[in-house]
Amino acid sequence: MEQRGNLSFAEESTNLIPFEMKRVYWIYDVPGGAKRGGHAYKEMSEIIIALSGSFDVIINDGRKEKIFTLNRSYYGLIIPKMVWRHLDNFSTNSLCLIAASHDYNEDDYIRNFDQYRTDLGL
């Protein structure tokens, strides 16, 4: 632990993030019991980081589901395109940072899970 505090970073050029970051946004003040997300992207990939607090990222490839608990600001979860995801179980005062490979485009979203499975050919 650094006496002056810690520093974390993300750089495209280091290959830690396998895409060019076009958009960054954050989610905060999520009420207890609320979920965020519930969609997949046709083209966009993301990295999700818990800057403060904790939350679960639930991903689904159309066949099975897996839960990742994010609670350290120096870890991120990369979500490739065409992976269904939602966020749940937010702790009080949690802060979720998301860096995305594309600018916002509503047409890139798949918001219906059955349609998502169809698009995957399942």
For 71-87, the pLDDT digits (tens) are 999 999 999 999 999 99
DSSP character string of 58-111: EEE-SS-EEEEEE--TT-EEEE-TT-EEEEE-PPTT-EEEEEESS---GGGEE-
Question: What's the pLDDT score for residue 25?
Answer: 96
Q: Identify which of 3, 55, 2 has the alpha carbon closest to the alpha carbon of residue 26.
A: 55
97 located within any domain: yes
Residue 91 forms part of a structural domain: yes
Q: Which two tokens stand for residue 117?
A: 């499975």
Question: Is 57 inside a domain boundary?
Answer: yes
Judge whether residue 15 has pLDDT over 70: no
Q: Is residue 26 part of a domain?
A: yes
Average pLDDT over every residue of 9-36: 86
CA distances from 115 to 42, 79, 84, 111 (A): 12, 19, 11, 8
pLDDT tens column, 27-52: 999 998 899 999 999 999 999 999 99
Given pLDDT bands bounded at 50, 70 and 90, which one contains residue 18? confident
Domain at 28, CATH number: 2.60.120.10
Count of domains observed in the chain = 1
Catalytic option among 23, 39, 42, 86? 39
Structural domain containing residue 43: 18-120
Q: Which residues pair with 60 in a beta bridge?
A: 65, 84
Distance, in Å, from the CA atom of 120 to the CA atom of 114, rounded to the nearest integer, reads: 10
| 102 classed as catalytic | no
* Domain-located, residue 12: no
pLDDT recorded at residue 10: 74
